[in-house]
A and B are shown apart, each in its own frame.
Chain A
Amino acid sequence: MLDQIQKQLLYEVADLHKMPEGAYNIRANGGLAARNTTANIDIVSKENGSGIDIKIKDGTKNESVHIPVVLSQSGLKETVYNDFYIGEDCDVVIVAGCGIDNCGVQDSEHDGIHRFYVGKNSRVRYVEKHYGSGDGSGKRILNPVTEVYQQEGSYVDMEMVQIKGVDSTIRTTKAELAAGATMIVHERLMTHGTQSATSVYEVALNGEDSSTDVISRSVAKDESEQIFEASIIGNTVCHGHAECDAIIMDKAHVVAVPKLDANCVDAALIHEAAIGKIAGDQLIKLMSLGLTEAEAEEQIVSGFLR
């Protein structure tokens, strides 16, 4: 059974009020809290106890898997390996995410290593949310690693969200795409206080006509720090686009590091990066509608991170 704090964390990272429909595996304070499998989706614990394997049968359509993790015990540190084996011609939604509530003085840390093996012509939508709460001095730390191996014609759409409360994150995402595969990433990030967040993406476009679009929108407040590194490697005829758009506020620090690596004359790779404060004319426009400056700022930031 989950307690109230864990239920709140679950709601923040997975929009879940109660047990979800379909397949799920809920991990709470380092142990299994609940699991459900379906005819097409199997979830099994790894023999060494280091995580789970999620196996999705060929042709599974319109099904979802939820694998949220909640930590409400101060000082807990864990590393979990979750491997997704997605068959051919599937169309599935996978919702992961981690919520940490730390009221204590010791650091709490969850490092999730997710590996996706996506079969031919399958479509996967993957949503990963991070959330931290609790007013203890112990830090809330998340270091997710995502590896994606996409076969021919597959399509992966990843939404990575971390809006509040996580003190330190290093997010590493690596992908390798075969012919005709597409990977879309939308990252939304807000840091405040003295938080730091690093996102590193490396997408290798190995197959002909593979493509990727890596888009990051972030807001850095107070004295927080963000580093965004996007590397796209074009090894054949392919399309790659990376975009980093950041609003910087107060005394924050934002670094955008683009890297395009073309090994083929027909690799079309583009990178865009923009860092700037909230435009004065945006504030003036919203103030002319009757909002205070603080309300205007809030609207601009929440719209930007939508």
Chain B
Amino acid sequence: MLEIKNISYEVEENSAEKSIIDNLSLTIGDGKFVVITGPNGGGKSTLAKLIMGIYRTNSGSIIYDGTDITEMSITERARLGISFAFQQPVHFKGIKVIDLLRLASGSNISVTEACEYLSKVGLCARDYIDREVNASLSGGELKRIEIATVLARGTKLIIFDEPEAGIDLWSFQNLIRVFENIRESVNGTVVIISHQERIINIADDIVVIENGKVKLQGPKDEILPAIMHTPAAVNEACSKLS
């Protein structure tokens, strides 16, 4: 179980303190498939990075499976069983897909095992296993490799930060299928930061974050009707158009 208690996070902007996460509390139960959504700039991705330890909270605490992880490093949190799929997958010169999958799994897995993770994200393993994780891969390919690395870790909690960002429509259709598969096959808790209705649709629970606070939280059937057709949803749609 992940318990977030009264956390705050401020940044300095034009020599003034700006609140990004404002005394936020949230509990995510084991085995849940949770989508965190809300308007741009509301603090969703920041919250995800605070859970992973990429950013540090200014106050409050984060408890994972009864352990206070608030002061722990990224490495310690990762070893405790938290994984994070980045919104913008990182490029590495010289590091191959197989290397990254081996580092992720923590052992010298065979090519066959590595191929299984790639198949799960819809990549033909033979074409990718020896490719370098660099700019020669497309945004959609990098995104899927990113997802394969977190699946290879096999941890109890996986956080996906806007998996739909930066990929084309065709890749998006495939991505939805990947998440539907993860929904069926993963034993653990999955938290996805997303704006996409089709991803929201496969959630158990939905959390809406706005202005650094939890605005709504509950089962999909309750929350989804409430967030569709709201001014926030309309604004979100309009911002995408512009």
Q: Is the interface of B mostly helix, strand, loop or mixed?
A: mixed
Would B75 and A287 count as touching, CB distance under 8 A?
yes
Would B75 and A293 count as touching, CB distance under 8 A?
yes
Per the bound structure, the CA–CA distance linking A282 and B95 in Å amounts to: 11
- Chain A nearest CB, measured from B92 CB (Å): 6
Contact A303 B73, CB 8 Å, known A289-B103, A289-B149: no
Per the bound structure, the CA–CA distance linking A211 and B109 in Å amounts to: 41
Interface string of A265-306 (1 = CB under 8 A from B): 000000000000001011011111111110000011011111
The 4 A-B pairs with the shortest beta carbon distances in the complex, nearest first, are A303-B94, A303-B95, A287-B74, A290-B78
Q: How many residues belonging to A are interface residues under a CB distance threshold of 8 Å?
A: 22
Per the bound structure, the CA–CA distance linking A286 and B54 in Å amounts to: 12
The chain B residue sitting closest to A296, CB to CB, is: B75
Contact-size category for B: 20 to 34
Q: How many A-B residue pairs have CB under 8 A?
A: 60
- Chain B nearest CB, measured from A220 CB (Å): 16
| In the assembled complex, B3 has its CB within 8 A of some CB on chain A | no
- Chain A residues within 8 Å of B88, by CB: 281
Would A292 and B75 count as touching, CB distance under 8 A?
yes
Interface residues of B (CB under 8 A from A): 52, 54, 73-75, 78-79, 83-84, 86, 88, 90-96, 99-100, 103-104, 106, 149, 153
Would A303 and B92 count as touching, CB distance under 8 A?
yes
Would B90 and A287 count as touching, CB distance under 8 A?
no
Contact A289 B104, CB 8 Å, known A299-B95, A303-B95: yes
26 A-B interface contacts by CB (under 8 A): A217-B94, A281-B90, A282-B90, A282-B91, A282-B92, A284-B90, A285-B90, A286-B103, A287-B74, A287-B75, A288-B84, A288-B86, A289-B78, A289-B83, A289-B149, A289-B153, A290-B75, A290-B79, A290-B106, A291-B103, A292-B75, A293-B75, A300-B92, A303-B93, A303-B96, A305-B94
- Chain A residues within 8 Å of B54, by CB: 284, 288
- Chain B residues within 8 Å of A284, by CB: 54, 74, 90
- Chain B residues within 8 Å of A281, by CB: 86, 88, 90
Interface residues of A (CB under 8 A from B): 217, 245, 279, 281-282, 284-293, 299-300, 302-306
Q: Given B90, B91, B96, B153, which contacts A290 in the complex, CB threshold below 8 Å?
A: B153
- Chain A residues within 8 Å of B79, by CB: 290
Q: Given A245, A285, A290, A293, which contacts B93 in the complex, CB threshold below 8 Å?
A: A245
The chain B residue sitting closest to A245, CB to CB, is: B93
Would B86 and A287 count as touching, CB distance under 8 A?
no
Per the bound structure, the CA–CA distance linking A279 and B92 in Å amounts to: 9
The chain A residue sitting closest to B82, CB to CB, is: A288
- Chain A residues within 8 Å of B83, by CB: 288-289
Would A287 and B92 count as touching, CB distance under 8 A?
no
Would B74 and A306 count as touching, CB distance under 8 A?
no
Instruction: Knowing that A289-B106, A291-B75, A300-B95 touch, tell me 11 more A-B residue pairs with CB under 8 angstroms.
Output: A286-B103, A287-B74, A288-B54, A288-B83, A288-B84, A288-B86, A289-B153, A290-B106, A290-B153, A293-B75, A303-B93
Would A279 and B90 count as touching, CB distance under 8 A?
yes
Would A288 and B74 count as touching, CB distance under 8 A?
yes
The chain B residue sitting closest to A287, CB to CB, is: B74
The chain B residue sitting closest to A281, CB to CB, is: B90
- Chain A residues within 8 Å of B78, by CB: 287-290
- Chain A nearest CB, measured from B162 CB (Å): 15
- Chain A residues within 8 Å of B95, by CB: 299-300, 303
Q: Which has the most chain B C-beta neighbours within 10 Å: A217, A285, A302?
A: A285
The chain A residue sitting closest to B89, CB to CB, is: A285
- Chain A nearest CB, measured from B55 CB (Å): 11
- Chain B nearest CB, measured from A128 CB (Å): 20
- Chain B nearest CB, measured from A123 CB (Å): 24
- Chain A residues within 8 Å of B91, by CB: 282
- Chain A nearest CB, measured from B103 CB (Å): 5
The chain A residue sitting closest to B103, CB to CB, is: A289
- Chain B residues within 8 Å of A291, by CB: 75, 103
Per the bound structure, the CA–CA distance linking A245 and B94 in Å amounts to: 12
Would B94 and A306 count as touching, CB distance under 8 A?
yes
- Chain B nearest CB, measured from A298 CB (Å): 11
Per the bound structure, the CA–CA distance linking A175 and B199 in Å amounts to: 58
The chain B residue sitting closest to A300, CB to CB, is: B92
Per the bound structure, the CA–CA distance linking A292 and B96 in Å amounts to: 20
Per the bound structure, the CA–CA distance linking A279 and B79 in Å amounts to: 22
- Chain A nearest CB, measured from B79 CB (Å): 5
- Chain A nearest CB, measured from B137 CB (Å): 15
Per the bound structure, the CA–CA distance linking A300 and B52 in Å amounts to: 21
- Chain A residues within 8 Å of B106, by CB: 289-290
